[in-house]
Amino acid sequence: MSSTEGDAEPTPEERRALFRVVRGTPTDEELAALVVVLAAAAAPPDAPQPPRSAWNDPAARLRRPLPVGPAAWRTSTWPR
């Protein structure tokens, strides 16, 4: 990001910089887009979601079909 050329000693800001422009003159918008892309690439991935508890499973609120046949009343409360 320096306008000096050659083997000049870098300033403290240039030494601290994460990247520098070596050729061309990018606009502020182009530099901002580059910073956003580099920050997104360096961000840690999202933590995986823990498995859903059976107590909180929305499928448990759905009604199962009524059992039919002999001893259906007895088997209606068995876990599935």
CA 25 vs CA 2, 22, 50: distances in Å: 11, 9, 47
Q: Supply the pTM of this predicted model.
A: 0.40
What pLDDT is stored for residue 61 in this prediction? 75
Per-domain boundaries in the chain: 12-42
Cα–Cα distance, 9 to 57 (Å, whole number): 63
What pLDDT is stored for residue 24 in this prediction? 92
C-alpha torsion sign, points 48, 53, 68, 78 = positive
- The model's confidence at residue 80, banded by pLDDT at 50, 70 and 90, is low
pLDDT digits (tens, 9 = 90+) for 15-56: 777 778 889 999 999 999 998 998 888 888 888 888 878 788
At which residue do the structure tokens 């182009």 appear? 30
